[in-house]
Structure formats: structure tokens, C-alpha cells
């Protein structure tokens, strides 16, 4: 079956399981090298996993290099990939330069692919190779599409390191109390850490997002210490300091202040977009060679709707942070310098 103007995944392509979240599974698209057609037909349609040592014998099919395949799980809150792609094209893509986004493109899936992938997931469960918290949920057989996304791993870029961070609330919530001593992110972290302490679980240590967009380099350097995958804190800080993509994200967060108690109804598209821009992930691929090009892209930008109780959750969370004094920092065991709002670093946030 052909689909004009729509990319189709070749039937002979192999899929290697890479990772999964609550709503999607990510695969690497591989094509066995140096095998004739008959040999390829003997291989399973979906490979549950391939050790890194075996990957050298595989290569992505032409037209799919530098891409990963995202497949949708069968969940009650699942949104069709056509709608996700449409929202991305209409709402997210116009806000950034093409090279600043983990891009996504619809691709039609060959018949039988999803069923085979589900069989591989079930086999991985039996062999204790699938994360326990992900078991029992499989791919949607009613979803005819996958999403091709930019591969920001280091697999196809040897000699690079990958760092990840979540530049959530780069400025304070508009409904936070006057003279708050915690920004939105640090207040929420304090609240979660108190719950973790009561359960005897480890606490989360991370950066204050206001430091990420500070006009002082030493503040950005301080934040870089907590970035996942960071190999060279000073070099990463130089990349992040006044970074164009980060500043553009800050500009859009400033413009879209329909958050907290303010703005349009929680179920509106504007509110959804504002919250989406406060819950994305920044991927930073840095070459070991100082002269190489640093690649920075924003991902996790599916439009977050207020459906399914999400809008109520957003509002309830803001009420809890205010009502229980988390913005005030009254219950925190965190050191005085943890949040830029409570320390002498706050003056460097005047532009915010």
C-alpha cells in the first residue's frame, strides 16, 4: 500500500529497542549490512535489542540516518500521532529555528510491525530484560504511524558527549506570593524532597533554573554542576551562558504567562502551549574537540493538554505550593544558596 507524500518505513528495516517512557517506545532503525535479500528475510522484523558490539554490522537504511523511530503505546490518555504531529507543526515549530528542535515526522508503518514489536516486548519481559515499571503495556495496534525523531544520542556521532537538562520555569510563576524565597521549580523540589525524606528515600539535588539564564557566568557555572551527562562543567557552562536557544525559550515563556492562577482557562490551547514550554528537555551534544560544532536541541515538546485531569493537577499544584508555604521556603532544609531568589544571586535575575 502506497501513501503519496508520506514517508514509509521499508519492510526490510530492523528495529533495535533503545528506550521507553510511559507513552512511547524508542527504537533505532537498522539495516543488516553485507547481507543479501534472502538472508535479510530470515531475520526477525523487530530486534528486541542489539549489543553495542553487534551494532557495527548494522547501518540505518538510506533516508533514515540520524533518525530514531518512536512508536505509541496503547494507553487511555494516548493521542494519535497525526494529532501530535499537527500540533507540533502548528504550535512548536514556528517558535524555534529548525536546528533547535528534536524534529519529528510522520512515517507509515509496514503491516505486522507493531504486532512483532509487541511480541518482542513480551519476550523481553519473560527474560527479565524490560523495566519492571513498564511491563504489561504494549504498543497500539490501532496506530498506523510512527514518528521519526532526530537522533541526539552519541551513537552516530562518535567522539561526542551528551548532556541533558530540563529548563523548566526559567522565570517565577506569575501567581507566586510577593517576596517569595523560592522559584517555582525550587519550591516544588523542596516539597517533593520533604516527602522523600519521610519515606527514607534519596532527595533530588539539582540546579535553580534562574541560574541557567543568569547574566553572570558564575551562576551558570553553578547550575552546570547538576546537569545530567556533564563531563566538563566549565565547558558546558560556556555553552549555556547566554545561549541563543535557551534565551529564545525564556522569551517564549515570558510571552506565554497564562500559567499559575492567571490567563485563559486551563483547558485552552494557549495554556497547554505555555505549560509545554515549561516541561521540555534540552539535549546538548558536545564534541571532544574544542573546534567541533556543539549541537543543542529541545525535545519532549508534545503539546500537553489539560485533559484527563491534567488541568486540575496544574491548578492544585499551584495552590499547594502557595498554601503550604513552599514558595516562602518555610519548610525547607535546603541550604540558603539553593535558589537564586533566596540568595545574593537574585540581583543577576533583574532581566527576568
Give the domain-ending residue among 150, 184, 202: 150
Q: What is the pLDDT of residue 216?
A: 96
Q: What is the pLDDT of residue 32?
A: 58
Q: What is the pLDDT of residue 352?
A: 40
Q: What is the pLDDT of residue 62?
A: 65
Domain hosting 266: range is: 160-349
- Same domain, yes or no: 178 and 206: yes
- Same domain, yes or no: 220 and 145: no
Q: Which residues contact residue 30 at a Cβ distance below 8 angstroms, ignoring those fewer than 6 apart? A: 13, 14, 15, 16, 47, 50, 55, 58, 59, 60
- Same domain, yes or no: 138 and 164: no
CATH code of residue 116: 3.30.200
In a domain, 47, yes or no: yes
In a domain, 81, yes or no: yes
pTM of structure: 0.87
Half-sphere exposure of 102 (CA within 13 A, CB side): 23
Which residue positions in the chain have pLDDT lower than 70? 1-5, 31-62, 266, 331-337, 344-352
In a domain, 155, yes or no: no
* Total count of domains within the chain: 2
Q: What is the pLDDT of residue 132?
A: 94
- Same domain, yes or no: 115 and 230: no
List the Cα angle 168/90/7 in 5-degree steps: 105
- Per residue in 122-164, pLDDT (tens digit) is 999 999 999 999 999 999 999 999 999 999 999 878 889 999 9
Q: What are phi and psi for residue 227, nearest 5 degrees?
A: -75, 130
Which residue reads 539539582 in cell numbers? Answer: 206
Give the domain-ending residue among 150, 180, 207: 150
In a domain, 2, yes or no: no
Give the domain-ending residue among 130, 150, 170: 150
Q: What is the pLDDT of residue 86?
A: 96
Amino acid at each position: 500500500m502506497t501513501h503519496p507524500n508520506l514517508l514509509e518505513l521499508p519492510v526490510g528495516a530492523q528495529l533495535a529497542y533503545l528506550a521507553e517512557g510511559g507513552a512511547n517506545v524508542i527504537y533505532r532503525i537498522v539495516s543488516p549490512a553485507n547481507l543479501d535479500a534472502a538472508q535479510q528475510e530470515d531475520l526477525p522484523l523487530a530486534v528486541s535489542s542489539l549489543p553495542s558490539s553487534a551494532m557495527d554490522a548494522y547501518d540505518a537504511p538510506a533516508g533514515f540516518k540520524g533518525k530514531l523511530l518512536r512508536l505509541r503505546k496503547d494507553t487511555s490518555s494516548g493521542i494519535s500521532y497525526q494529532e501530535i504531529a499537527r500540533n507540533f507543526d502548528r504550535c512548536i515549530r514556528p517558535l524555534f529555528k529548525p536546528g533547535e528542535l528534536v524534529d519529528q515526522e510522520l512515517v507509515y508503518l509496514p503491516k505486522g510491525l507493531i504486532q512483532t514489536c509487541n511480541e518482542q516486548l513480551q519476550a523481553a519481559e519473560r527474560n527479565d530484560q524490560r523495566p519492571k515499571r513498564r511491563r504489561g503495556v504494549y504498543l497500539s495496534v490501532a496506530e498506523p504511524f510512527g514518528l521519526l525523531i532526530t537522533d541526539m544520542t552519541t551513537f552516530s556521532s562518535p567522539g561526542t558527549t551528551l548532556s541533558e537538562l530540563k529548563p523548566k520555569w526559567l522565570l517565577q510563576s506569575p501567581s507566586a506570593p510577593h517576596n517569595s524565597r523560592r522559584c517555582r521549580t525550587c519550591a516544588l523540589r523542596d516539597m517533593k524532597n520533604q516527602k522523600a525524606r519521610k519515606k527514607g528515600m534519596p532527595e533530588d539535588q539539582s540546579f535553580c533554573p534562574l541560574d541557567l539564564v543568569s547574566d553572570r557566568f558564575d551562576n551558570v557555572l553553578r547550575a552546570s554542576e547538576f546537569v545530567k551527562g556533564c563531563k566538563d562543567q566549565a565547558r558546558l557552562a560556556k555553552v549555556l551562558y547566554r545561549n541563543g536557544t535557551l534565551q529564545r525559550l525564556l522569551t517564549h515563556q515570558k510571552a506565554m504567562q497564562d500559567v499559575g492562577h492567571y490567563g485563559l482557562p486551563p483547558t485552552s490551547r494557549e495554556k497547554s502551549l505555555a505549560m509545554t514550554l515549561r516541561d521540555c528537555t534540552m539535549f546538548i551534544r558536545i564534541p571532544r574537540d574544542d573546534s567541533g560544532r556543539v549541537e543543542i536541541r529541545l525535545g519532549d515538546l508534545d503539546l500537553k493538554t489539560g485533559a484527563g485531569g491534567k488541568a486540575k493537577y496544574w491548578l492544585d499544584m499551584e495552590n499547594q505550593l502557595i498554601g503550604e508555604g513552599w514558595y516562602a521556603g518555610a519548610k525547607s532544609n535546603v541550604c540558603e544558596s539553593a535558589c537564586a531568589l533566596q540568595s545574593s544571586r537574585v540581583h543577576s535575575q533583574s532581566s527576568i
